[in-house]
Structure 1
C-alpha cells in the first residue's frame, strides 16, 4: 500500500498548495462543489469485468464487452521476443472534472483557485436566446487526471499490464484556446464540416441504441450516441438537456480530442497486446464513464456506461442545481495485454 500512501500525500500536498494561493476565486465567482473520490466506496469495482483470456470470458459480469483476440497465446518482439497469455480487462485509468466553473476542481475536494491571469474565465449556464428562440446552452471545462488506481492499490503486485504512474493533472482546458472557440477547434478536426448535415446526424440514432444496449458503433466516429455530436471538439454544448447528458458529451469530446492530439493512445484489441498504439480517431468502445461526483454510481449494469449510452434512467436525479454543475467521472479503459 506504499504507492497508495504516496499518491494520497501527493494529492494532499497539491490541495495545500492551492489553499495557499494568494487569490482565491471563490470570492469572485460561484462556489465550487465536490469531494475526493473514495477508492473503496465510490468506485464501481464490478466495472473491471468482463475478464477474458483470449476470446473466452472467465469472469463474465453483466456488462457488454468489446471483442478480444481469439487466441489465448500471444507473442511480442519488443524489446525481446517472448510468448505470453492474452488477457482482457477494464482498468480505472483516468479521472476527469467536468465543470461549468473555470478553475473548479470537484475531484480535489471542490476547491476553486485564481490562476493569476485572465485565461479560461467566464461562467455560462441556463437558457440563452439563439435566433430569437430560447435554447439551453452550456460551456464546460475538463480537467484530466492520470489515475492508475489498480497500480496504486497493488491489486496484483508487479502486474505488467497495469499502467505504472503517479497521480497528476495532465490537462486543463482553461489554458487551451482550441477548447474555447468553435472556429479554432477546426484546426484539429477539419473533417467536422463533412458531418454537419441532417443525414450524418440522423445516423447517430443507431449509435444511441447500440451504446445503450451494448457497445457503441465505432464506424460512426462522429457520433456521441444519445448525447449528440462529437464535433466540434470543445465544451460548447448548443443543446443541453441536462447536466448529466451535457457533461458526458463534453467529456466524450475531450477524450476524442486527446486521441486526435496523440495524448491518449489505443489499448484495446490485438494491436494493444504488446504496447499502446496511435489512435487518432478514437474508438468509443475503449471507454466507459462512471460518475463519482456529485453522487457516485457504484452498482447496476449502467454504473459505468459506454460513450453515447442513454443517461435515462440510470443517471436520473444524480445532478441538481448549483452542485450539479460540478461533475466528476472515473474513466474506465479497455485493456488487452500479453501477460508473461
Structure 2
C-alpha cells in the first residue's frame, strides 16, 4: 500500500512538471525591440519622387511612383485658394508583427500585458509533412508622422501633424483569430475563395515585383498570397519576413475597412483625406525597420510596394529569438494642394 501511494505521488509530480513545462513553452516568446532611429533606420530616399502636377522635379535612385494629378494648378475650399499640386511619399504609419501578445517591439520591447488573455504566435505543422504549414501572429498599427515631429521641413502644410502613437492592437480584436468572424468586415471574401481568383494573383505578384501591384486586384497581396481574410491566420508560412509582410498588408487593409486609415492620394486627396474602405495597395511602400533595418539600397531602392517578393530583399533579415518579430515603416502616397 505504501509503495502504491508513493507511485501515485510520483505520477502526480510528473504530471505537475509536465504541465509547468507546457506553460513555460506556451509563454516562451521573448519581448525585445528597438525604437526606430530616424537617422540610421529609416530610408529617406523613399519619399521620392517629388512631383508638381504630372511632372517629376526630384528623384533619387529611380524611386517608383504612381500617377499624379496631371495639372500643376489646383484649388481648394469654398472660396477657392489656388495652389500647386505636389506629390510625394510621406512616412506616416508604422506596422509591427509580433509573437508575444502586447509586446511593443517599436517602443524598445515594452511588455504592455494588461492581463487580458490573447493568443500567442504559433506555427502549425502539416500532418503530411509538406512544409512548415500555417502561422499566426499579433500585429500593431502606429501613427508615426516622422517628418512632422522631426520638423524635417518647416511650415510645410502637406505633412500630417501629430506624434508617435499606438493606434491599434489586434490582441483586443476578437476578429483577428477567427476566419469566420472576420467575415463581418469583409463578406466579399467568399467571392475570391476559389482556385481561379487565387491563381489570378500570380499576375499581381509579377506586377508588384517589377513595379506596383494591380490596383483592381484588391483581393491579392502580390507574392505574399491573399489579402483575405483580414486576420492573423496565414495558411502557408514560408518564413517570418514573408508572413510579416503579408500581415502588414492585411492590417493596413483592415484599418481602411474600419475607416481608421484614409486615402491621401490622387485628385481626391489634393484638398485633404477621404474615405477609402477598400485599400489602394499601390498607395503604399514599405521599409523593414526591425530586426535588421533594410537601408541597403538594391538598385537604388530600399523600400518595396505592397506584394513585392521577399526573395529580392528579405534574405538575412530574420534570426532566432531576438529577430523573429518585425516592424515596417509605411510610406503612403500623398498629393496635396499647396496654396499661395
What RMSD in Å do the two structures reach over aligned CA positions?
Answer: 1.8
Would you say 1:168 and 2:139 are equivalent positions? no
Which position in structure 1 is the counterpart of 2:191?
A: 194
Would you say 1:111 and 2:86 are equivalent positions? no
Which position in structure 1 is the counterpart of 2:304?
A: 305
Indicate conservation of the 8 Å contact 1:295/1:318, yes or no. yes
Can you give the 5+ residue segments of structure 1 that lack an aligned partner in the other structure?
Answer: 1-24
Which position in structure 1 is the counterpart of 2:223?
A: 226
Distance in 2 of aligned mates of 1:263 and 1:49: 25
Distance in 1 of aligned mates of 2:111 and 2:127: 30
Indicate conservation of the 8 Å contact 1:266/1:277, yes or no. yes
Matches within 5 A, 1:14-29: 28-29=27-28
Distance in 1 of aligned mates of 2:147 and 2:198: 38
Distance in 1 of aligned mates of 2:30 and 2:59: 43
Can you give the 5+ residue segments of structure 2 that lack an aligned partner in the other structure?
Answer: 1-23
Question: SS of the counterpart of 1:335?
Answer: strand
Indicate conservation of the 8 Å contact 2:103/2:113, yes or no. no
Indicate conservation of the 8 Å contact 2:140/2:170, yes or no. yes
Distance 1:28 1:134, change over 3 A: closer
Cα shift at 1:189? 0.4
Question: SS of the counterpart of 2:250?
Answer: helix
Indicate conservation of the 8 Å contact 1:49/1:63, yes or no. yes
Would you say 1:139 and 2:174 are equivalent positions? no
Which position in structure 1 is the counterpart of 2:17?
A: none
Indicate conservation of the 8 Å contact 1:26/1:113, yes or no. no
Indicate conservation of the 8 Å contact 1:34/1:106, yes or no. yes
Question: SS of the counterpart of 1:288?
Answer: strand
Aligned residue-pair number: 313
**Bigger Rg over Cα:** 2
Matches within 5 A, 1:67-216: 67-78=67-78, 80-118=79-117, 120-125=118-123, 127-129=124-126, 135-216=132-213
Indicate conservation of the 8 Å contact 1:97/1:326, yes or no. yes
Distance in 1 of aligned mates of 2:45 and 2:129: 48
Which position in structure 1 is the counterpart of 2:39?
A: 40
Question: SS of the counterpart of 1:322?
Answer: coil
